[in-house]
Amino acid sequence: MDIRSIYPVLQVAEPESAGDYFVENFAFERTFSADWYVSLRHGVHELAFLHHAHPTIPEGFRRTVTGILVNIEVDDATVEYERLVRAGLTVLLELRDEPFGQRHFILEGPEGIAVDVIEEIPPAPEYALAFTS
């Protein structure tokens, strides 16, 4: 099988405003925009939002997302933290270093989506062997 792309499509109540959040704060570009679907791209990375009640969604699955964490890896989490705090975004988890090899913080994104902004750092010795590459 030859996979050309794989990306999440998050079911939300307001696809346009969810898309705006990632365009305005993380420099995504819109590749398609309608009142029921918004597709975004940042380099090779894609993210899309679909209205939760759209008829292409099977009955029983027409609901907004919950418990979604979108990870965005960056070169410098400290710089991004300062920039996004200055922009007035709501921080759910303050910038911190984790022993498993991340400097990160978590923002409150649109519609209950959490956005984890991550910089890879060297892991503590007890985690180093868990990495396969």
User: Sorting pLDDT into bands at 50, 70 and 90, what band is 131?
Assistant: confident
Task: Verify that 3 and 41 share a domain, yes or no.
Answer: yes
Task: Verify that 54 and 92 share a domain, yes or no.
Answer: no
Q: 107 near 114, Cβ under 8 Å?
A: yes
User: Sorting pLDDT into bands at 50, 70 and 90, what band is 104?
Assistant: very high
Task: Give the number of domains in the chain.
Answer: 2
How many other CB atoms are there within 10 angstroms of residue 109's CB atom?
22
- How far apart CA 82 and CA 108 sit, in angstroms, is 15
For the residues 111-130, what does the mean pLDDT come to? 94
Residue ending a domain, among 39, 65, 91, is: 65
Could you tell me the residue range of the domain that residue 105 belongs to?
Answer: 66-133
Distances (CA, A) of 82 to 29, 45, 104, 124, 130: 22, 23, 12, 25, 31
Residue indicated by tokens 């008829």: 55
User: Sorting pLDDT into bands at 50, 70 and 90, what band is 128?
Assistant: confident
Which CATH number characterizes residue 97's domain?
3.30.720.110
pTM: 0.93
